[in-house]
Structure 1
Amino acid sequence: MSVTLITGANKGIGFETARHLLELGHAVYVGARDVGRGEKAAAALGARFVQLDVTDDALVTSALAAIDAAEGRLDVLVHNAGILGDGVTDGPTALRVFDTNVVGIVRVTEAALPLLRRSANPTVVTVSSSAGSFWAVNNPERPEFHLSVPLYSASKTAATMLTVQYAKSQPGIRFNALEPGFTATDLTAAVGGGRPAAESARTVVRLATLGVDGPTGTFQDEAGELPW
C-alpha cells in the first residue's frame, strides 16, 4: 500500500486526488490548515488527517513526524496547496503568495525527503500552472496570454523550477509538475467557469502513480509535456 500526503486536500483538486488515490488503494493523508475542515474532509473520504500549514515550519515538521511515526515512510507527496493572490499587487501580498506557493514547497519537501528515501517508488507531484509558463503567457493563442495574475504566475514559474531542480538533485525520487487544466475551484471562483475538479485530478493521479521507470523533471498537462 502506497502512503500518500496531499497538501491543501480538504477541497478542490486535492480532495478529488485523495478520492482517486484511495480508490487505488493508497493510504492517504489529507493535509489542511483548518482542523475542522480537514477532519471533515478526511472523514468524508475515509482518509487520515494531519494538520499542515505549508507556511508554518512547526506544523510542517509535526505533520511529517506524525506520518513517520505511523508509517515509517512516504511514497507519494502531492504539493497542492496554493493561493491566487489576486487584487492588490504589493509587498505583503507578494510575500504571502510566494510563502504559500513556493517556500511552502521547499518546507514540505525538505521535511518529507527522509521519508521519501525509505520508499521503493518515491514520487513528488507539484500542482503548478501554465500561467507560469513563458511560452504560454506570450502565445496569443493560449488563454494564459490574457490572464493577469502576476504574483500567482510568477510563483508558479518558481514552483515548476523548484520541481525541476529537485529532480536533478534527488535522482532517486521522481519530481514532476503539472498544469491541471482550468478547474472550477475556490481559487478560480472570481473568474467563473472551469471543469469539475475530479477531471483535473486525473493528471495528478497519473503522475502520482508512475512506475519506477517513469519520467522526472517534467512539466505536463493531460496531453503530455508542456513547453515553459
Structure 2
Amino acid sequence: MEFDDMRVVITGAGRDTGLLLAETFAARGARVFLSARDEGAASRAADVINQRGAGPAEAFRCDLADPGSVREFADAVAGRTERIDVLVNNAATYRDGEISDVEVEQIIAGAATGTVLLTQHLLPLLRRSERPDIVNMISGCGEPGNHRSDAHPAFYAAKHAQAGFAGILSHRLRPEGVRVISLFPPDFVQEGPRTAGSALTARSVVDCVMFAVGQPRDCFIREFRFEQVR
C-alpha cells in the first residue's frame, strides 16, 4: 500500500473529519495513533478501523486545552513508536452564537496553545522520520480579512494563532526537510455532492491532505487555499 508502515498521529479523530482522516490513512497501510477528548469516541474509532483489516489504529485520550493531557498523550505515543512520519493537527472546537467565558478559553487554549505544545512535544519523533510532515487543519477563519464564517470570534482568534504558528514553523523546519502543510478550508460539510456549485466536502479536504503527503520530498506544498460558494 502507498503508506505502508507510515506512523501517523491525528488529533480530534473520534468523529467527522478527524475520523475520516484516520480511516483514509489506515486504508493506505499507515499505523494510526488517534486521539479525542472523549476516550470512548477514540476507542470506537480505532475499533472501526481495526475491524476493516487495514493499517492498525491505537486510541488515546487528549484534551488539547489541558497541557497535562497533551504531555500524557505525547509520552504515550513516544512509548509506542520510535518515530512519527505525519502529525495532523486537526482538533478544534467550533462554536457560533453567544458562548461563555469558559468556552472562549477552551477554544483558544485547545486550538492555539494545544497545537503548539503537542507539536513541540512530538517534534523529536518527527525528526527521526525520513519523511516528516506536519499537517495543520486550520480553516478559512485563519485567513486575513476572512469574514464569511458564522464562527464565534474566539474561533477566528484561535485559527489566526494556528496560522501564525504554522508559518514560522514552516520557515524554521524547511532546512531540516520537515514539511509543514496547512489547509484553510471554508466552512464545509461532511457529506454531499462533489460538484462545482456545491459546498466543499470533508472528503475533498482529506484528499488534499493525501495528495500533499504523498508527494516526493522535493515538493513542499505549504498551503491549500480554497474558493468558496459564497
TM-score, scaled relative to structure 1: 0.82
Q: Deviations over 1:105-146 (max 9, x none)?
A: 111101101111101111001101112212443xxxxxx2x6
Look up the match of 1:207.
Answer: 212
Instruction: State the Cα distance separating 1:68 from its structure 2 match.
Output: 1.8
Q: 2:70 aligns with which of 56, 60, 79?
A: 60
Separation in structure 1 between the aligned mates of residue 208 and residue 145 of structure 2, nearest angstrom: 21
TM-score when scaled to structure 2? 0.81
% same residue: 25
Distance across 1 between alignment mates of 2:90 and 2:13: 7
Structure 2 residue corresponding to 1:44, chosen from 45, 48, 59: 48
Using the alignment, how far apart are the partners of 1:219 and 1:196 within structure 2?
18
Mark the runs of 5 or more structure 2 residues left unpaired by the alignment: 51-56, 191-197
Please give the secondary structure, in 2, of the residue aligned with 1:212. coil
Question: Which residue does the alignment assign to 1:141?
Answer: none
* CA separation of 1:48 and 1:167: change in aligned 2, threshold 3 A: same
Distance 1:90 1:53, change over 3 A: closer
Question: Given the alignment, which residue of 173, 182, 198 partners 1:177?
Answer: 182
Could you tell me which runs of 5 or more consecutive residues in structure 1 were left unpaired when the two chains were aligned: 138-143, 186-192, 224-228
- 1:11–1:89 CA distance, 2 compared to 1 (3 A): closer
- Secondary structure of 1:167's counterpart equals helix
State the partner residue of 2:140.
130
Confirm or deny: 8 A CA contact 1:125 1:175 kept in the other structure. yes
Larger RCO (alpha carbons 8 Å, 6+ apart): 1
Q: How far apart are residue 90 of structure 1 and its match?
A: 6.2
The answer to whether the 8 Å contact 1:164/1:176 transfers is: no
The answer to whether the 8 A contact 1:124-1:208 is kept is no
Aligned length: 208
Please give the root-mean-square deviation of Cα atoms over the aligned residues, in Å: 2.2
Matches of 1:66 and 1:57, distance apart in 2: 14
Superposition misfits of 4+ residues, deviation over 6 angstroms? none
Give the aligned partner of residue 96 of structure 1: 106
Paired with 1:72 and 1:28, the residues of 2 have a C-alpha distance of: 14
